[in-house]
Amino acid sequence: MKGIIQSSILILVLGFLCIQGFAQNIDQKEIASLQSNCDGVYFPNKKLIADSWGKSLSFFDIKEGDNIADIGSKSMTFAGILSIFTPKANFYCEDIDSACTTSEQAQKVLNYYSKIKGEPINSTITPVIGTETSTTLATAFFDKVIIDNSLHEFSEKALMMKDIRKILKKNGVLYLRESLGRTNGELHMGCDQALFDEAHLVEFITQQGFKLIKSEDSQIPTGAFLSKLFLFIKI
């Protein structure tokens, strides 16, 4: 009996050490190296994500098995961050940047955020190259679409929204995190693109065949004075 107990304790200790070796506080040099080519957001540990972005991440309400299109995702790090706190889902990360939206970059994101999570991320991240007017994604396939602080950078907003509505299933939902101007047309401090104010943003999205369900202030910084999260449903 004593030998069994000792063996069990040893297994628990080794398991704990294994987890500790996986969940790390990542060195800034590694983060700088990852960001050097395709930017992206790389947190050094899980606690920092939970403390700073946690409430806003829960807004997305991802369910196991969801097919999710992340539009304008480039580095795909937002899908990696969401995957730490959500059940297994399938992320299709679309962008027009073929240099960064690659299988190699997707694997880097999965590897990095698996370290942060402390176990392998079991969600999938699939890179997809779109165009200025189309996501190139499958029609009526997606449960959810995320536009993460990139709507103001779309050159053909109405055409892209038409395509996004097309790829959603019946009653599919659109999650929008967006920088907002204090006045309509105010320029974003980072990319110098014109921003919607809240009223004009909601009006624009509803004109594209969506209904606003709820919104709340975002804890996630966007490089603008104002930032909100919106949930719309396809109608």
* Distance, CA of 82 to CA of 3 (rounded, Å): 43
Above 50 in pLDDT, residue 77? yes
Q: What is the pLDDT of residues 130-149, one digit of tens each?
A: 999 999 999 999 999 999 99
Q: Report, as an integer, the average pLDDT of 47-63.
A: 94
Predicted confidence band of residue 108 (pLDDT cuts 50, 70, 90): very high
pLDDT, position 20: 36
At residue 191 the predicted structure's pLDDT band, cuts being 50, 70 and 90, is: confident
pLDDT category, 50, cuts 50, 70, 90?
very high
Residue 12 has pLDDT above 70, yes or no: no
Tell whether the model's pLDDT for residue 13 goes beyond 80: no
Among 12-16, 128-132, 178-182, the range scoring the smallest mean pLDDT is 12-16
Domain boundaries, the chain: 43-234
pLDDT cut 70: percent of the chain above it = 90
Contacts 24+ apart (CB under 8 A), 211-214: 211/235, 213/173
pLDDT at 15 > cutoff 90: no
> CB of 26 within 8 A of CB of 45?
yes
- pLDDT of the residue at 18: 35
43-234, what's its fold?
Answer: Rossmann fold (3.40.50)
CB-based contacts of 82, cutoff 8 Å, min separation 6: 57, 60, 62, 89, 91, 123
Cα–chain center distance at 175: 10
Q: Which of 25-34, 36-45, 195-204 has the lowest mean pLDDT?
A: 25-34
Give the model confidence (pLDDT) of 23-35 as tens digits: 457 778 888 989 9
**Chain mean pLDDT for the chain:** 88
Is residue 64 predicted with pLDDT exceeding 60? yes
